[in-house]
Structure 1
């Protein structure tokens, strides 16, 4: 038995690695080619919405995919993918201020959905752990802590006035301010959310899914983390809406159901996001910046490197 998870066998480790590689590869397909993006994020979802999901995600199904949250998260993630493609492929779209407000808005909406879910999980009063909507949940102070961490993570969203489209053939949506400082806080918060609310699915929708966008953000294409995140999130949700039995029966990786693990994960999320907010506001105050108009980290090496390579 592990600390966070009951350690799977070698076969399950192989499945997890395979999923990680496939998500990264499909993200690259959607990033590098216009038609790849249209196929993955427009044509496939339309077909699945009409012919598959009404059956696999019917209300009250035994795998927990028929609740409001799964449907809302699916289409908000797809809305982000489609919206970002329009920004990338319509000439001069990012020159309009209202257009560049879309990425921070869709990001904040996605975080708000999860924050609400954390608070909702606490309201279940499942303090000893029980199945709610066919998903195992253990309510506790960790839901409140991580809900607050999610709100703090929204406050960290900054520098959207600097969003632009890269000069490369892939036409990536660049957001230089959203680099490792934000990614660290987001990843810890989002993992804690999945651990709290989709506990026995969280090795996939938490660890593997977050790695699938964080690895490209640091090692494949820096500066467009949100684009990576939207793509991989949409791909994973579409898969789990189509094959809802995957995480429960085909390749399960249950958590240890240990209250100390829940507390530690959410406590770390809260501390790191609080520290990041304090640091970011100190930078804003020191440099007399307006977070609604100015980019925050223009003096940092990561910011300069991203702009030098893409503008």
Structure 2
């Protein structure tokens, strides 16, 4: 195959189990404050004290990214929970800046790692075969553009629903798709032998939840599914060495180029559209929502009874 190889019935079934597991737990914790506290606060605290950094998890000590990604994802989820459940934060401009800030930091972590992997020529690091190349630089630039095109965090609101979801109406489908392609390229470049699970399954889970479920909740879905997968990876760092998670990258240069070029083209497209919208509407993306005139924006508002 072009992107991945080693497809077996067992591997495909495990992939589906991961995908639906992420969707199920994400949906359950979205609807329940108690489940959110258990999964994103109680379990991480317990694992930090008694499991992570010990035993099998010692194999992750050399990989700074695994640790940073886990705790930054959890910080995002807990921060979003605070905004969702504490009314005073819902109108605080600094609190509303937090989602954009944690998202930007999350992207920057990956951009830094892409640039870091560029200098690695066929090395094995933390059990992963890394082959750096121009695709790392191309995709790193795409990631930086993805940060520039983040808009409308000042308009984040809490849905009028039992689940009290965090609604980011200005974060629309075109940005989400551009981000997804960039993130898939990053994972394919930097976590190649886990990219089918940490990339395809993980990205697909939050995207499906955002497009099929209630609209406007992508970042909430992204943070929760990322935190869940990061905790799993930190707990079982050698999962990809088993026969059950054996769909791996082909390690060819062509698919790396395809993903990286697609990432930068889509993100540049979003940037161009953002600039055109700013010039047309005279809105300031740092102080105002940018896409309020679009029908898809109105659909988000209506879906969340805002």
Q: TM-score normalised by the shorter chain: which range applies? A: over 0.9
**In the alignment, what sits opposite 1:113?**
109
**In the alignment, what sits opposite 2:203?**
210
Instruction: Determine if the alignment matches structure 1 residue 3 to structure 2 residue 2.
Output: yes
| Residues 119 and 133, structure 2, Cα contact 8 Å, conserved in 1 | no
| Residues 53 and 61, structure 2, Cα contact 8 Å, conserved in 1 | no
**In the alignment, what sits opposite 1:262?**
256
Offset, 1:237:
0.6
> Deviations along 1:69-120, whole A, 9 cap, x unmatched?
1111100000000000010001242111111000000000000000000000
Of 86, 92, 99, the residue aligned with 1:90 is 86
**In the alignment, what sits opposite 1:80?**
76
| Residues 65 and 241, structure 1, Cα contact 8 Å, conserved in 2 | no
Counterparts of 1:9 and 1:253, CA distance in 2: 8
**In the alignment, what sits opposite 1:282?**
276
Counterparts of 1:164 and 1:247, CA distance in 2: 39
Counterparts of 1:230 and 1:159, CA distance in 2: 18
**In the alignment, what sits opposite 1:71?**
67
**In the alignment, what sits opposite 2:167?**
174
SS at match of 1:223: coil
**In the alignment, what sits opposite 1:138?**
131
**In the alignment, what sits opposite 1:123?**
119
Of 264, 273, 279, the residue aligned with 2:267 is 273
**In the alignment, what sits opposite 1:159?**
152
SS at match of 1:53: coil
Gaps of 5+ in 2: none
Counterparts of 2:105 and 2:66, CA distance in 1: 14
Instruction: Determine if the alignment matches structure 1 residue 247 to structure 2 residue 228.
Output: no
Counterparts of 1:286 and 1:45, CA distance in 2: 46
Of 140, 150, 163, the residue aligned with 2:143 is 150
Offset, 1:297:
0.8
**In the alignment, what sits opposite 1:57?**
57
Counterparts of 2:157 and 2:36, CA distance in 1: 19
Offset, 1:26:
0.4
Counterparts of 2:260 and 2:235, CA distance in 1: 30
Number of matched residues?
303
Offset, 1:123:
2.2
| Residues 175 and 224, structure 1, Cα contact 8 Å, conserved in 2 | yes
Offset, 1:51:
1.2
The runs of 4+ residues in structure 1 deviating greater than 2 Å are: none
Counterparts of 1:246 and 1:85, CA distance in 2: 30
The alignment's TM-score, normalised by the length of structure 1, stands at 0.95
Counterparts of 1:301 and 1:290, CA distance in 2: 20
Counterparts of 2:266 and 2:10, CA distance in 1: 34
